[in-house]
Amino acid sequence: MLTAEIRRRFLDFFERNGHKILPSASLVYNDPTLLFVNAGMVPFKSYFVGAEPPPAPRVATCQKCVRTLDIDDVGKTTRHGTFFQMLGNFAFADYFKAGAIEFAWKLVTGPQSEGGFGFDPDKIWVTVLGPGYHPDYPEGDAEARELWRAVGIPDERIQGRSLKDNYWNMGVPGPGGPCSEIYVDRGPDFGADGGPVVDEDRFLEIWNLVFQQEDLSAVRAKDDFDIARQLPSQNIDTGAGLERIAYLLQGKDNMYEIDEIFPVIEKAAELAGKVYGENRDDDVRMRVVGDHIRSALMLMTDGVAPGNEARGYVLRRLLRRSIRSMRLLGVESKVLPALLPVSRDLMSASYPEILKEWDRVSANAYAEEDAFRRTLAAGTQIFEAAASQAKGAGASVLSGERAFQLHDTYGFPIDLTLEMASEQGLDVDRDGFKRLMQEQKDRAKADARAKKGGAVDTAAFTDVRRAGESRFVGYSDLSAEGRVLGIVSGGRLVDAAHPGEIVEIVLDATPFYAESGGQDADSGILTANGVQLDVLDVQKPVDGLISHKVLVGEGEVRPGDTLLASVDPVARRHGAASHSATHIVHAVLRKILGPTAVQAGSYNKPGYLRFDFNANAGLSKGMREELEGLSNEAIDAGYDVTDTQMSLADAKALGAMAMFGEKYPDVVRVVEMGGPFSRELCGGTHVTNTAQIGMLTLLGESSIGSGVRRVEALTGKDAFAHLAKERALVATLADLLKAQPEQLEDRVGRMVAQLKAAEKEVADLRAKELLGNAAALAASAETVGSYRLVARQLSGVGGNDLRTLGIDLRERLGSDASVVALVGGTDDKPVVTVVTNDAARAAGAKAGVLVGVAAEKLGGRGGGKDDIAQGGGSNGAGAADAFAAVRAALAG
């Protein structure tokens, strides 16, 4: 049974049983505690904690997920994958344990001819919470055990397990409850008998049913928590692993051989001239390729671009591990153009958006492969320098610190370091490397826990949300009365706010726009008789609430009081103008660059905007001028700006642009400017006509990561002020140069040419002076091992002059094995040049390696050919250490 068919059967089954089918949320989900959606329940967290009402009492999804904590196990086990799909059915105050168990049993064991999965009922085992693991459950989950008996599972195939296995919570105070897991017996070929408690390879978990019924007041560990009370309503949260079900129903031994992954492995084997199944190490590498190519494809489809931080770093690592695995399989040529389209064709049946985004995705991926190939070339030089230094010091082991630096700083894979070290007769301190890697992981986990801990701070707002919600009236009104629903201070609800305090006020109605969608929050005041609060910030701490961070200036405020909320009209007008200008910039960029110029982020505030977009190359001067010109044409055209409420499906059919990672309701707001000119899903505030923007001035365009560019611009009076300042500068220059403004370009051009000529003349004189001293420098050569070495610091001398002098010195030193090492530049920006002659190179001295050794002591990097190489750094005081390192390398 194909994976797509399993997915369809699951959703059809629950749709027939009264569930609303929801699409998968983007992997880039709007949750500050997560890099990616890592479980099927993530999009429903706000419903489970009561922060907002669910879209229906019963829903079902097939959710895209990514987990990378166990990335090093990918390919080695039967079930570790970075991208996976989680089937789930959810009930909010609707059916509970009996319904969830009955649904799962019918689907899992139902005949395939009737839409079920067709698993043999005699092969099904289940686990429930066992007795004695928590004081509130002295008998364990006896109710779940009885319900499984009722559907036909004998008691010997129902096993009790601990809280770690069969109790679910979010890791923070909130909802929790026992869970029950469904396992399939794969048979004696896969392990020992005795159920999941004996062998979880033979007995494979395919589904987990979570029974949310308790409110936890404290969570110290997965198996250490306090239950405060029963939840007012019971919920069902289930998760079934689509890939696991697929490889069982397809008769495979592991998830890598299912229909959505294995063709990529076959292509990898073809490129490498290998046969899958003949060599375990090769098989692991091919499985890594199959898994990572699919994961990278899905992440890029959802808007992630390769980068050095957060999500971009994870994607970069997936792509580079794939390329590196193919290299270990013997493929040195480019591989992504052959592999990625295979995964595209496999996954687009379930996710047609892959085809829509393919041009952008493939361009980013192929550019990343080109960049990594350059990294491998540069990293090889860094490694050779490190190896040379280690051997020069008489060491036989490359330090864990150096291996970690190669991995973490230069993106050089550890397995490549191990391979190349072996070729050089060196071992690698693997324990030291693993220790540093673990420290990095621990820091990442601690950071994640810190972010997750932030969720505790929303508990007070969740309590407020249960009592009501905030209604935003700011599209039509800039002032409105609102009743205080709650006051939060230090993460806790308080009964009053007093003068001088900074607190957060939640109103039941407000005209203040809360920061979201890249738009800055409104500013203004909250007032009442004898009360004035200055609004410092406005946020949405939980869905459905708008919180005003205020400084209490006068009076006292209590829950239930009525306040007049007044938005600063000038700031709102200018902020709306910048937001509308952002939409115009987006539309114009897509006109210039095509549909691949998708928004990757934005920020706007009164008078200023920045807009990030996907592109693999910067904008030319002509493109920047076109962007600014067409944007101002759209402003001058006076397009009406309208907003319309419509269904999400209708909005997409209309062609409205949506942001990756944003969560949209069934009914959305579509903002249009000039009809089809700009049409986006947007909840922000806007002008009513583009002419109200006034004007737009482009400040610049730059790269902010691989495949992502950023433009910045000013709008309205800020744009005018910027141009006025530039006009004043032009007038000053014209006055200084005694020229008309239109003559400045020619006049300055001539001056620059004259300056360059003068600089060249000075450089020539300096070079002659240096060469005049060359004889004395050559005479000062010292003997190091079997080499003659000239090592000298020449402060103030630039790189070109060092190179010229180094070549001259090499000739003067004759046919003996000779090396020249020169450091010039300045204290904060030193440069280094290393030159070798034929005899030195024949003896093993390579300039490219030696310059790396020297540049490291200068706080920088270097590289080049075997005969001449250059580098630089940031610490000129390290020159003596640099020369010492070169001497040590030569002596070795």
Determine the distance from the C-alpha atom of residue 615 to the mean position of all C-alpha atoms in its chain, rounded to a whole number. Answer: 17
Task: Output the six-digit token pair for 382.
Answer: 């860094």
What rounded mean pLDDT belongs to the chain? 89
**Given this model, what pLDDT does residue 760 score?**
79
Q: Is the pTM of this model over 0.75?
A: no
Q: Which residue has the higher pLDDT, 825 or 764?
A: 825
Task: Output the six-digit token pair for 318.
Answer: 């997936």
Q: Per the annotation, does 686 bind a ligand?
A: yes
Instruction: List b or e across 25-62, with b for residues whose CB sees 16 or more CB atoms inside 10 angstroms.
Output: bbbbbebebbbbbbbbbbbbbbbbbbbbebebebbbbb
- Place 56 in a pLDDT band, splitting at 50, 70 and 90: very high
**What tens digit of pLDDT does each residue of 140-150 get?**
999 999 999 99
Q: Is the pLDDT of residue 31 over 80?
A: no
Contact yes or no for 367/337 (Cβ under 8 A): no
Q: 282: closest CA among 247, 323, 330?
A: 330
Contact yes or no for 359/452 (Cβ under 8 A): no
**Given this model, what pLDDT does residue 244 score?**
94
Q: What is the mean pLDDT of residues 268-296?
A: 94
Q: Give the H or E element holding residue 554.
A: strand 547-554
Q: What is the mean pLDDT of residues 464-478?
A: 91
Q: Per the annotation, does 548 bind a ligand?
A: no
| Percent of the chain with pLDDT strictly greater than 90 | 62
Q: Which residue has the tokens 């977009």?
A: 613
Q: Per the annotation, does 19 bind a ligand?
A: no
**Given this model, what pLDDT does residue 447 score?**
54
Q: What is the mean pLDDT of residues 337-344?
A: 97
Q: How far apart are CA 262 and CA 245, in angstroms?
A: 15
Q: Is the pLDDT of residue 404 over 90?
A: no
Q: Per the annotation, does 407 bind a ligand?
A: no
**Given this model, what pLDDT does residue 662 score?**
64
**Given this model, what pLDDT does residue 717 score?**
95
Q: Is the pLDDT of residue 120 over 90?
A: yes
Q: What is the mean pLDDT of residues 773-782?
A: 87
Amino acid identity for residue 559 in this structure: P
- Place 449 in a pLDDT band, splitting at 50, 70 and 90: very low
Q: Which segment, 166-180, 213-227, 286-300, 456-470, is predicted with the most confidence on average? A: 286-300
**Given this model, what pLDDT does residue 408 score?**
73
